[in-house]
Amino acid sequence: MEIIVQKFGGSSVANTDKLFNVCKHITKEKNKGNAVVVVISAQGKTTDELISQEKEITSNPNKREHDMLVSVGEQISVAKLAMCLEELGYEAKPYLGWQVPIITDSNFGDANIIQIKTNKIIQDLQQGKIVIIAGFQGIDKNQDITTLGRGGSDTTAIALAVDLNAQKCEIFTDVDGVYSEDPNKNKNAVRYDKISYDKMLEMANNGAKVLHNKCVKMAKEKNVKIIVKSTFKEESQGTIVKA
Ligand code: ADP
Ligand code: ASP
Ligand code: MG
């Protein structure tokens, strides 16, 4: 069974039309006979909105409650994406971090993945289901919900690709690859066809949020190839991040 992990960021799933658009990428791989695991983020600016609602209450939230709140966006998006796929006639199985489970340390707000129990995922894939996993979240040894840091869904995707021994990990986003600089800020930025883990890590550490820095670190350690591509511009080949 060839397993493919596809991750879609917040702007790629911002509304119902966009959720159905994402289904095209997913079902294309599924129709080729691949086993597909999808990771998605919260829709649009949902996580930012949750944080501003929190700020209406306190500037110093209890960290456990903070993670309980900011992880909620992904619960909405995985359930909706599963419904979209089911509407299209596919069998889907959405999971929150704790349901997998994706076990993390207790570093609330910036937790690290310790272990992913993949048995339920593999069983679902064997039954032909498209598995959908909430990005950005996990559960610690005390059964408390944790989050992996802003942009952390990328890290969920890579960790799953590692543990499922996936054939490829595609990160779909709102730009068509990794550029020399943020293409939304500098129109002269050039897109890389390929980029090394080290160069990408340097860019991520300097704030190029196209990939979460922890995800690049993990991909380098485990030698997982990352493909960054556009959700909306199908003709672009994107950028391969590798050694
Ligand atoms: P997603 O919601 O898909 O995770 P993000 O907003 O986290 O997307 O990351 C994509 C954004 O990263 C782009 O819209 C772009 O503005 C920004 N970005 C910053 N630096 C770069 C870069 N060097 N190459 C590509 N995109 C970059
Ligand atoms: N929804 C989370 C955030 O906005 C995680 C992610 O998008 O990767 O940071
Ligand atoms: Mg992101």
Domains along the sequence of the chain with CATH = 3-175+225-236 (3.40.1160.10)
Examine the pLDDT at 236 and tell me if it is beyond 90. no
Q: Beta strands 3-8 and 35-40: pairing type?
A: parallel
CB 136 less than 6 A from any atom of ligand 2: yes
Q: Does residue 153 have its Cβ closer than 6 Å to ligand 2?
A: yes
Q: Which helix or strand (DSSP H or E) is residue 192 part of? A: none
Least confident of 62-76, 109-123, 222-236: 222-236
Three-state DSSP state, 67: helix
Q: What is the pLDDT of residue 53?
A: 98
Q: Which atom of ligand 1 is nearest to the CA of 11?
A: 2
The pair of three-digit structure tokens given for residue 220, joined into one six-digit string: 């380098």
Q: How far apart are the C-alpha atoms of 148 and 156, rounded to whole Å?
A: 8
User: Please, which pLDDT band fits residue 158 given cuts at 50, 70 and 90?
Assistant: very high
Q: What per-residue confidence (pLDDT) applies to 82?
A: 98
List, in order, residues 6 or more apart from 29 with CB less than 8 Å away. 4, 6, 36
DSSP state of 153: H
**Residue 28's CB: how many other CB atoms inside 10 A?**
13
pLDDT at 235: 84
Residue 178 has pLDDT above 90, yes or no: yes
CB contact set of 116 (below 8 Å; sequence gap of 6+): 100, 101, 102, 103, 159, 160, 163
- pTM for the complete prediction? 0.98
**Interval between CA 41 and ligand 2 midpoint (Å):** 6
Cα separation, 71 vs 105, whole angstroms: 16
CB of 73 within 6 A of ligand 2: the answer is: yes
Question: CA 187, CA 149: separation in Å to the nearest integer?
Answer: 29
pLDDT at 86 over 90: yes
Give the number of the atom of ligand 2 that is nearest the alpha carbon of residue 9: 7
What number is the average pLDDT over the span 179-195? 96
| Beta bridge pairs of residue 6 | 38, 170
Which atom of ligand 2 has the smallest separation from the CA of 156? 8
